Structures are given as structure tokens and as C-alpha cells.
Amino acid sequence: NVKWGKQKYSDIDVSTDEPPEVFKLQIFSLTNVQPERQKVMLKGTTIKDDWGDLKIKNGVTFLVMGSADELPKEPVQKTVFLEDMSEDQLVSAMNLLTGLDNLGNTCYMNATVQLLKSVPELDKSLQRYVNSLTGGSTGGIDESVTTGFANLIQNMKSGSQASIKPFLFLQLIYMRFPHFAEKTEHGVPMQQDANEFLTELLRICQQNLKPITNDTEQEMATAATNKQRSNFIDQYFGIDYDVELQCLDEEAKDEAVSKSSETSLQLNCFISQEVKYMLTGIKSKLKEELTKRSPTLDRDAKYCKTSQIKRLPAYLCVQMVRFFYKEKGGVNAKILKDVKFPMSFDAYELCSPELQKRLQPVRDRFEAEEEAKAEAQIAGKLAGVKKEILKKKDENIEYERFDFEDDIGANNSGHYELQGVLTHRGRSSSSGHYVSWIRRDRDEWMKCDDDNVTPVTLEEVLKLSGGGDWHIAYVLLYGPRRLEKKSTTPATGDVATTAAVPMETGTSNGDS
């Protein structure tokens, strides 16, 4: 028997083959008195860590002294289990992305919006634009499209709904671009090309989103001496090239090499029989042969066009050029070839010597941090440290700026990380289905299939390189690889933390 205050508990089984701690746990289950608070006595003897010389017989009474813990209170809010949640509650609880309902072959629009929504600076720029508008603003349809785009992203960010019906934004798109509103002979909206829509939407934003300016007077003075970009899109998506055009005809070998500059908002990866990797396809576009009229020969001749990147943007769009016009059938047929894309992309070798020199200081810092991380991993293994300890969480980390002080929105290292993939499933651009795959964390990805948003693994994303009728990468969005502001110098036996935030998969140049 056990007596605790006025309470008495009978017929309790006790085994002296087990330590008294087991008996105290039994008492705890009856009285709610923690074992460390219990004073258990038998015939004036206090029981401690062992039974000692106590002779315990059936029917004896133990005296217990000690105060019980307060019983847990009923939760203010009733626990809701996942299986009992609505779709909207699941989105909020699991921190999922908000989906977009398909309003009739509008997957091209939905996938593009999800891809661009992953650029935080674009979201901020759109909200600044909306806040800057006055009640009497009459900017026309382009202003309405930009405002509608900003409001749609803001509604998606609220996380209060599993999916949104983007009726207003779609109507604005139809008004601004009537060809997107074309229908089949049966009255069904026609499928449109997602990359074409992406290009048109960026052009609208080019016209309306003002450039980001430096905050300090010193930085503003430095930037004033450099070429200023007229809008946000050119800052964060604009690519500049140095272009040389040389005639290959022997009769015009003395013709001077023509030099010029070009700009674009995305790199193109051309897919031929020889191309197996994204970088190879990009290079084939940067050095190509073309035919044009020679001023020296006064006739058409072959030229070699060589382009080198002289300015990299923070966000690099890469279009996999998979569609070509097929006269037989009159459709834009699709190249299904498997072309591998890296999770971590290094654009250094695509750049001009001048830009390479400018990128080098930050690249050296990345290299130093990679070496520090490798040494820390080796030290951790030698010390028997678990691998999980070497992984540093991304929470509350401050990063260095990824651009130059005199070129806001540029990339100052040439290093990128994949943060979004827009895929197409089907055999032609006028049919099939578009989906976006968005990276949320280091290895956490979300598949945004219209209103159906689900978590996916990194392995599933890597399978999007092509080779069959499954989803195939069409537009890749790379964001800047970030460098932490501070790195920790480890003491003896400690594990170092790395300032670089590298991807754990993929290659640095895409062809290794």
C-alpha cells in the first residue's frame, strides 16, 4: 500500500529485483509527484537508490511525502489534426505556396507567375510601384497590368487560401495582348507559349518599375559616375554583351572586325545532337556562324559572331530552345533530348576578360570559404562529429551584397544557384501543360501545378532534364549564390561554419 496525505493506494506490485526508481515512477503515475520530489519511507527508513536491508512483505504500507505538479490545463485552442484540416488551413499550417486555378489553358500564365514570384526583389519593386500610384493616375493598360501583377502576388503571399482564381489579371492580359485570348474552333482558349508570356510580362515591368537606387550619399556619388539603368528589370535581369563580327571569306580577310554591344533578358541554350549539357548549348549561341552582306565584297558572306558577357544580372533566365517550326503539320514541334542542367551554375567562362577580373575578388572569398568548409568536415570526421552538426541552418543569417556598389542588381561573383524551373509536358508549344518547380530551402522544392501545390524531392527536380514525355525543363531561373557576412573561426575541437552557401548537388560549370 502507498499512503500520500489523505490518499491511500492499495494492491501495488513491487519487485525488489528492480531499483527503487521504478517503484517511484509507479508512485508518480498515481500521485503526479515527480520522483525527485518524493520522500518514500517504510517504518521510519527513507528509501534511496537501493533497497538496502529492507524486508518488504505483502501488505506493508509505504509513506510518501512530496507536492504534486499542477495538472496540465486544457489547451485554449483545440488541436486540429492534418486529416481534419481544410485545404486553406493546410496551406497555412505547412507553409505551402498558394496555387492558381486554371481558367482554361492558362497553365502557361500560372507557371510564369509562380516562377517570377520567387524573386523577392521583384515583389518589393512591384509593391513600391503600387504604393507610388496616385488616385488620378492614368497610365493606361500597361499600368493596369503591372498593378494587377503586383496585387496577384500580394494575394498569393497572404497564405490564407489554398488557391486563387486570377480572373482580373487574366482579363488584363487579354486586353493588353489579344493573341493570348485566341480560341479554338470549339471556343476553348488556346494554349500559349510560357516563355513568350514571360518575355511580354517582363517588358511591361521594364516600362513601369523604376530602378533601385543606393541609400548612402557616398554610394550615390560613386554610382553617378557609372552607367545608370533605367528600370528595375534591366538591373536584375539584364545581360550585356561585347560582340565581335568577323568575315570568314578569304577574299575579305582584310575587312575590319566589327565591334558592338547587345543586351538581352535571358540566355539561350540551343539543343543539337552534340549538346548534352546546358553550358554547351549556351556556348554554341555565343559563338555562331551567320550570313550577312559584306561591305567589302558587296555580296553575302559568312561571318563568325562572337559574344562575351560583360555584365551579369543577379537573376539569370536560361531558355532551353526546345521548340522549332515543323512544316509537316504546321506546328512548333518539341525537342525531347535529355540536356543536363546544374543546380549550381558558374558563368565565369562566358564572361569577357574585363568582367572576369572584376568578379575575381568575391570568387576568391567563395573559394576560401569552400576550403574552410572542407577542412571543417575533415576535422569533424576525425573527431567523430556527426555530419548533421556541420550543416548550418539558414535562419537569421546575414549576407553580403551580391552586386557591385556601382551596379545595383548585378552579380559580383558569377556564381548562381537554381531557384526555379518552368517545365512543359507535351509534344508542341500549342498543346501540353506547363508547371513550375520552386525552391523553398536548400533541398526543399515545391511543385506548382496550377492549384495543386505539393512538396517534391531534389531527385524529382533533377529528372526534369528531358529524354521522354515527362515534364521537361523549358525555362531555368538562377539566383545569386550568397556569401555570409561573418564566418566563425573555430577553436580547437570546434566545428567551423562556412560563409558560403553552396548547393550540395550539381556541378560548378555544368559540363563536369
Residues annotated as catalytic (active site), given as ranges? 107, 433
Distance CA 314, CA 237 (A): 7
**Strand ranges (DSSP E) for 43-171?**
45-46, 62-65, 99-100, 163-164
Amino acid, single-letter form, for residue 276: K
Other C-beta atoms lying within 10 Å of the C-beta of residue 52: 9
Give the three cell numbers for residue 224: 553617378
Is 321 in contact with 339 (CB distance < 8 Å)? Answer: no
Alpha helix segments (H runs only) across 120-166? 120-132, 141-157
Is 334 in contact with 426 (CB distance < 8 Å)? Answer: yes
Amino acid, single-letter form, for residue 506: G
Distance CA 107, CA 429 (A): 12
Q: What is the DSSP string of 411-462?
A: -SSSEEEEEEEEEEESSBTTSSEEEEEEE-SSS-EEEEETTEEEEE-HHHHH
Give the three cell numbers for residue 430: 500549342
Closest CA to 18 of 8, 26, 9, 10: 26
Give the three cell numbers for residue 360: 575575381
Collapsing DSSP states into helix, strand and coil, what is residue 10?
A: coil
State how beta strands 239-247 and 39-42 pair.
Answer: unpaired
Q: Determine the angle formed by the axes of helices 167-176 and 141-157, rounding to 10 degrees.
A: 160
Amino acid, single-letter form, for residue 167: F
Distance CA 72, CA 473 (A): 53
Is 264 in contact with 327 (CB distance < 8 Å)? Answer: no
Amino acid, single-letter form, for residue 190: M
> For the chain, how far is it from start to end, CA to CA, in angstroms?
75
Considering only the C-alpha atoms of the chain, give the largest distance between any 2 of them, rounded to a whole number of Å: 120
Distance CA 323, CA 338 (A): 14
Cβ contacts of 430 within 8 Å, gap of 6 or more: 190, 191, 331, 332
Q: Determine the angle formed by the axes of helices 167-176 and 107-117, rounding to 10 degrees.
A: 100
